């Protein structure tokens, strides 16, 4: 069974930065495309960034140029560096495979104030 643990969220002012981490256990991490998802109150969960097993990346338009996804296969960890944060980035952030395969972790809350 795959277990996902997200961390690194917090409360920041607009323009600030945060770095999220997600550790995956119970899977051959390196073969999976991984993604960061977010869910704002009253909204559906959306994929915001993905990284393929080979390292290529994709981003939703709203975060392009501000967010960077990366991975460390030796540590079974995927990261999301978030810069120039905006209030509309406020959400609970989750990681999972892309497309999602496993049960969701607890997520990490990101709150951006104006």
- pLDDT beyond 90 at 30: no
CA distance 76 to 83: 23
pLDDT band at residue 48 using 50, 70 and 90 as cut-offs = very high
> Cα(112)–Cα(5) distance, rounded to whole angstroms?
22
Can you tell me which residue has the tokens 């989750």? 94
The answer on pLDDT for 76 being more than 90 is yes
Q: What is the longest distance spanned by two Cα atoms in the chain?
A: 40
CA distances from 63 to 60, 76, 94, 110, 111 (A): 6, 24, 15, 14, 15
Per-residue pLDDT at 90 exceeds 90: yes
In the DSSP assignment, the letter for residue 76 is T
Local confidence band at 111 (pLDDT 50, 70, 90 cut-offs): very high
CA–CA separation, 35 and 41 (whole Å): 20
Mean pLDDT for the stretch of residues 91-103:
93
The pair phi, psi for residue 68, each rounded to 5°, is -135, 125
The number of beta carbons lying within 10 Å of the beta carbon of residue 77 is 17
Q: Is the pLDDT of residue 110 over 90?
A: yes
Considering the chain, what is the average pLDDT of its residues? 95
Question: pLDDT confidence of 105, banded at 50, 70, 90?
Answer: very high
Please say if the pLDDT value at position 100 is more than 90: no
């Amino acid at each position: 069974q795959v277990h996902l643990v997200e961390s690194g969220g917090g409360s920041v002012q607009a323009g600030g930065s945060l770095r999220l981490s997600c550790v995956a256990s119970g899977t051959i991490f390196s073969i999976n495309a991984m993604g960061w998802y977010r869910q704002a109150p009253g909204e559906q969960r959306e994929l915001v960034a993905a990284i393929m097993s080979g390292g290529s990346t994709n981003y939703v338009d709203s975060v392009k140029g501000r967010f960077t996804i990366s991975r460390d296969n030796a540590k079974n960890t995927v990261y999301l560096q978030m810069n120039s944060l905006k209030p509309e980035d406020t959400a609970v952030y989750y990681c999972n495979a892309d497309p999602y395969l496993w049960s969701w972790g607890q997520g990490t809350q990101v709150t951006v104030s104006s």
